[in-house]
Structure 1
Amino acid sequence: MTSAPAPQLRGPTLAVAAARSAATYLVISVYVIIVGPPGVLLAIVFGWVDLLYVLARGGVALGLAVAGIKYDVEGRGRLRLDRAAVYCANHESNVDAPLLFLVLHPRMRLLFKAEFRKMPILGRACMLAGFIPVERGNPEQSQRAVDQAAAAIVAGHSFLVFPEGTRSRTGELLPFKKGPFIMALKGRVPIVPVAIHGGRTAMAKGSAIIRPVTVHVRIGEEVPTTGLTFEDRDALSAEVRRRIERLLQEQV
């Protein structure tokens, strides 16, 4: 399914959007600078990793509020708060990951770009929180990342993944990578399909402008992996893709 393109901003409307976006980036930067170092230090010294999650969720909520982004969630009762799961979502925007991190699970882990480790505060916080870096273009490291994620899943941690591996410019689902499904199979946990609609309008790929819109999140019925083997990974991927597509179509 291809979603409608975001309307073009011009003149005063563009100026207002640019100013609000700049304010959002400034507020988040100041927030990270103020709360990040003590949060990281306390996590290192006392093992207060939960504090990092609280601070991160607070920062996301603050950023969304300043940007004027609202959201609604359908299907909260399908969240797997009692045990681990892999949440697979479509990916249209840089807004997707922080928003889903906020609404899906209080201790959600993510796979993140390895280059983010170079960021002195955020990179360290991500590693302490158990997020797993992935090096694009490095198959061996990517496989190690999948294995690390699977081990964390076995230990009871849920993950948010974007099986497309990158953001879609059109809203149409891109081909799925196999990693998320191998993670779920190795971890022996269900996959929860998630559809996020409106992220591309909020912040299109290639644009730094953030628009004040309402983003819709729909959580689907879980896809069990019980009894499946690695030979079933393509069929599992196809089923999850079909469910995400259906969730997106139901949002239009």
Structure 2
Amino acid sequence: MPAPTAIVVHGGAGTSRDNEDGCTRAAGLALAALERGGDALDAAVAAVVSMEDDGRFNAGTGSVLCLDGQSIEMDASVMDTHGRLGCVACITQVQNPVLVARAVADSPHWLLAGDGATRFARNGGHPPYCQPTDKARAAHARLIAQLGDRPEFARLWNYQRALEESGERACDTVGAVVRGADGHFAVASSTGGSAPSLLGRVGDTPIIGSGFYAGTDGAVAATGIGENIVRHLLAYTVYQWIAAGTPIEQAVQRGIDLFDPAVAVGLIAVGKSGHAAVSNRPMPHAMIC
């Protein structure tokens, strides 16, 4: 008997629950992709594209501005149980990084970064796109006003513009995990980066086993501060617990409990017989199971 489908979508640990309608819409589009005959990866990508286009989430259109007030660097990833794996890091001037990551999965490589990733996107038909939202500009202005409390950024500054020309911290990710009716699993994630951060900073989102993982026993996506998440190989660690038979809600909560409560972190997961979404901060999410 075919397994029931399961879709879990999140909009980022620490993001307003007022944005949950965007997650609900994304989950609905994932389901529509499955109903059209798409597989689990098609569904996960459809959900993430929807959130990249929303503008309220820190991904795609809603990505944060880097400290120079001009640059936007984004990361994205996809993976499924059919062996497809693709990621981009520090890609610029594209509207949907997750679609570029999906294209990388069909290339000879698994990860492309920086200018190479952007050129790959252009060759694949993705037009230039860089339209920071008013929300991103306002957040950047507040961040610059608070930088007096973060002297390390002045010391390590690596932008072309001086610091003088250019508090709160953005570390959100959007993600989706899917179990298809055929029992296969997929995960897709995207982020507009972290603020404050130096140019070229890469978090957990495009790092296999840290921000995402999918295997024959399930799929896991993480959200939060990447510098902390990668130290625990969080997504793969939780996946291993699920594969070993730990109930999925218990495995996800165990992953959250690895972190000091002061560190924002969230997880979503699907397994052969369950699904879960847990965070130590408000985290907009949606489930169709």
For the aligned pair, the TM-score class normalised by the smaller chain equals under 0.3
TM-score, normalised by the number of residues in structure 1: 0.27
Choose between structure 1 and 2: higher strand proportion: 2
